[in-house]
Amino acid sequence: MQKTALTKSRRQIFYEGVHDGIPIALGYFVVSFTLGIAAKNAGLSPLEGFLASLFNNASAGEFAGFSVIEADAPYLEIILITLVANARYLLMSCALSQRMAKSTSAWHRIFVGFDVTDELFGIAIARKGLLNPFYSYGSYSVALPGWAFGTLFGVIAGNVLPEMLVSALSVALYGMFLWIIIPPAKRDTVIRGLVAVSFAASFLLTHASFAADISFGTRTIILTLLIAGAGAILFPIKEKEEEHAA
């Protein structure tokens, strides 16, 4: 009888996660459709694009990965740039792990950490009390397929649509990244300055003769580490500011 009650409780929590994950899944489908265009340009098949998004649910990380794949970069470079672009999810996973009961097994913590994104982290961390892993499983069960199938259909569309339309859709992903950085840049002069520095440094390394032998992926890794590291050291976020942002 106790086991049945426990199972029912987990099922209910799982469905709560499904309920909260549906809007995220719909948004993911739209965004990852444009990501599928980038995957097509990198030479990935629909199945390869689907699997890439299924095992790496991250817009910036995947776009960086697809970009270096398109540039015919070595495997090590692809791994490093994906790791750097997705590094923030390590911190989010640790934060979610601290919200779980001490008795939660390591396997549950690993599986919850598998699909941590900004949006899924947000709805999980906002729940009151201890976090039950089955809530995250519920939200993942709809959000992850939404992301993966969006990429799949994006690759298919890139293969059948006219080249002019595919080129136009490729720009949509850059619009998404601008939408991500413009609001915080408008509010914070530090972020605005770092964005400007990153644009200028990227342009410089792209056209400078001394960086001609440096691949696209290596340039991205170097700039990400240097600019993000400098921003964290020179302009640390104080604890009160973090609480206010939360």
Q: Give the rounded distance of the alpha carbon of 172 from its chain centre.
A: 17
The structural domain count of the chain equals 2
Exposed / middle / buried, residue 88 (Cβ in 10 Å: 0-12, 13-18, 19+): middle
Question: Which one of 145, 160, 179 terminates a domain?
Answer: 179
Q: What does the pLDDT read at residue 199? A: 83
Structure tokens at 216: 């696209």
Regarding whether 197 and 167 lie in a shared domain, the answer is no
Question: Which one of 162, 179, 196 terminates a domain?
Answer: 179
Regarding whether 199 and 127 lie in a shared domain, the answer is no
Rounded to two decimals, the pTM is 0.70
State the Cα–Cα distance between residues 162 and 145, nearest whole angstrom: 27
Question: Which one of 179, 205, 232 terminates a domain?
Answer: 179
Regarding whether 122 and 208 lie in a shared domain, the answer is no
Regarding whether 235 and 115 lie in a shared domain, the answer is no
Instruction: Note down the domain range covering 90.
Output: 2-179
Regarding whether 113 and 92 lie in a shared domain, the answer is yes
State the Cα–Cα distance between residues 186 and 181, nearest whole angstrom: 9
Regarding whether 120 and 34 lie in a shared domain, the answer is yes
Regarding whether 228 and 115 lie in a shared domain, the answer is no
Regarding whether 171 and 67 lie in a shared domain, the answer is yes
Regarding whether 218 and 199 lie in a shared domain, the answer is yes
Q: What does the pLDDT read at residue 179? A: 64
Whether residue 15 contacts residue 135, with contact meaning beta carbons closer than 8 Å, is answered with no
Regarding whether 173 and 192 lie in a shared domain, the answer is no
Reading the chain (246 residues) residue by residue, the pLDDT tens digits are 444 434 558 889 999 999 999 998 988 898 888 888 888 888 899 999 999 999 988 877 888 888 888 888 888 888 888 888 788 788 888 888 888 988 999 999 999 999 888 889 888 988 888 899 999 999 999 999 999 999 999 899 888 877 776 666 666 656 656 766 777 778 888 888 888 888 888 888 877 777 666 766 667 777 777 877 787 788 776 654 444 554
